[in-house]
Structure 1
Amino acid sequence: MPAAYERYLVPVVFRPFAEDLATKAAALHPRRILELAAGTGVLTSKLLATAPSAEVTATDLNEAMVAFGSARAPGAVWRQADAQRLPFPDGGFDLVVCQFGVMFFSGRVAAFTEVRRVLASGGRFLFNTWGPLGTHALEVALQAGLERAFPVDPPRFFPTVAHGYADPAVVVADLVAAGFVVEKEQELTLQGRAASTADLVTGYLTGTPVRAALEERGDEPAVRATVIEEMTARLGEGPVSAPMTAYVFRAATQ
């Protein structure tokens, strides 16, 4: 899964937002950065490039992602870690960053409280989360394809998980409950560009948790063909370009 995620999804969906987040992080002049849910290291690599004097510790819950990411971005220290039980001392970092990971935290206030614990006084928490599914044209088309392939009980990962933490008011309330002061909130729309819908479908169906749902249901070649057909009908032939919206938050310890 990490290889498919890295090859087909990172350049299209995640790198544009990683560049934005890394630029915002570097502007804070951090010395010790902790990254949560680092995945294959797309943001990690950008942090190492934009904040070369900072010490970067990258973590992920998934061992396969840590193994892949540590090879991709060896300039960081990599650790397997649960965001709700971070294996770091109090006040050890002045910046915690997370790209599209907070929606996966089962207890967000608990995770945010852990983030606050490992931040030094005056430290910042910088992260992004996807907007509603309807604001991500690539994944609207993908979900339509999945619903066409599975008229009964289609995989619901994208509307319920990936885009399941898309109300900024809820995010802000969780940060405040964890003891943060929200300094900045931004709605950011960038373009996702792919060589073809076929590449996108390969990435989404083999490089995300949808993969397990398809393996359970079987008939993967037919599903892939249906999803490609639906996405192509919606996004067009050849190279694909479509808008994707996220929210970016910066919070500070009190």
Structure 2
Amino acid sequence: MAAGTGLATAALVAGLTPAVAVTATDLNQAMLDCAARKPALAPVTFRQADALALPFPDAAFDAVVCQFGAMFYPDRRRGHAEARRVLRPGGRYLLSLWDRLALNPVAALIQDAVAALWPADPPGFIGRAPFGHHDPAVLRADLAAAGFGEIRIETVPATWRSASAREAAIGYCRGSPLRAELEARDPEGPARATEAATRAIAARYGEGPLATPIQALVAEARG
């Protein structure tokens, strides 16, 4: 679910035997079209789908995987419940969410730089969505409410890499839903924010290449 351009899907395909059927879904058809053009994903079935209303029968899959997508669901418990519905008894649900913003410093620098441009009305996408669902207790409660048992949640630290401070800034300010909030405040908002974020990142880590800390929550639950 929320397969996007297929990064997690490619990792799954590489790690599974050809006998395992993989279906990749995303709300955005253009993302799936991009993924479908990758030769490594030729065995995959692609299906446009809303994670809150999956177009599959009950108990259709042995496993459901969602990498950094569930934090964008308008109703996370409903999304988890849909994953539970399409899992066979005993099936596994694997998902990852970003940990709190303080443990993901490049994103925190970008949020602060963007907020400083509009102090009276700071764009809140970064803290609200990608980094807004980091509480393991809340995640555990959401999964239990969706009908899952045997819930295990780990914190996973890693290193995030980018070719440059500017590339990192572009990714958030022009290549994420933050862009819409910036444009709503100023048609030139994405460009202004990109420059401000680039300066903030470069002041802390240099212009690049970057190798900075990140941390996520990874959960496994049984249906």
Query: What is the DSSP-based 3-state SS (H/G/I as helix, E as strand, rest coil) of the residue aligned with 1:218?
Result: coil
CA contact (8 A) 1:135 1:245 kept: yes
- Cross-structure match for 2:121: 153
Cα displacement (A) at 1:224: 2.1
- Give the superposed CA RMSD: 1.3
Query: What is the DSSP-based 3-state SS (H/G/I as helix, E as strand, rest coil) of the residue aligned with 1:171?
Result: helix
Which residues of 2 match residues 56-205 of structure 1 at below 5 A? 56-72=22-38, 73-205=41-173
Cα displacement (A) at 1:179: 1.0
Does residue 47 of structure 1 match 2:12? yes
- Cross-structure match for 2:212: 242
CA contact (8 A) 2:166 2:207 kept: no
Equivalenced residue count is 218
Cα displacement (A) at 1:145: 1.6
Query: What are the superposed Cα offsets for residues 211-241 of structure 1, whole Å, 9 maximum, x if unpaired?
Result: 2122222224333222211121122232111
Query: What are the superposed Cα offsets for residues 83-127 of structure 1, whole Å, 9 maximum, x if unpaired?
Result: 111101111100000001111111222221111111111100001
Q: Look up the equivalent residue of 1:90 and give its one-letter code.
A: D
Q: Which ranges in structure 2 are unaligned for 5 or more consecutive residues? A: none
Cα distance in 2 for partners of 1:152, 1:64 equals: 35
Cα distance in 1 for partners of 2:194, 2:153 equals: 37
Cα distance in 2 for partners of 1:149, 1:75 equals: 46
CA contact (8 A) 1:176 1:182 kept: no
Cα distance in 2 for partners of 1:171, 1:183 equals: 10
What TM-score, normalized to structure 1?
A: 0.82
Cα distance in 2 for partners of 1:150, 1:243 equals: 27
Cα distance in 2 for partners of 1:208, 1:116 equals: 28
Structure 2 residue aligned with 1:212, among 147, 157, 180?
Answer: 180
CA contact (8 A) 1:131 1:166 kept: yes
Q: Which has the higher helix share?
A: 1
CA contact (8 A) 1:182 1:249 kept: no
Structure 1 residue aligned with 2:193, among 186, 204, 223?
Answer: 223
CA contact (8 A) 1:148 1:227 kept: no
Cα displacement (A) at 1:74: 3.0
What TM-score, normalized to structure 2?
A: 0.93
Cα displacement (A) at 1:154: 2.1
Query: What are the superposed Cα offsets for residues 47-83 of structure 1, whole Å, 9 maximum, x if unpaired?
Result: 1101133111000011221221222333311111111
Query: What is the DSSP-based 3-state SS (H/G/I as helix, E as strand, rest coil) of the residue aligned with 1:213?
Result: helix
Runs of 4+ in 1 over 6 A off after TM superposition: none
CA contact (8 A) 1:145 1:231 kept: no
CA contact (8 A) 2:113 2:200 kept: yes
CA contact (8 A) 2:125 2:181 kept: no
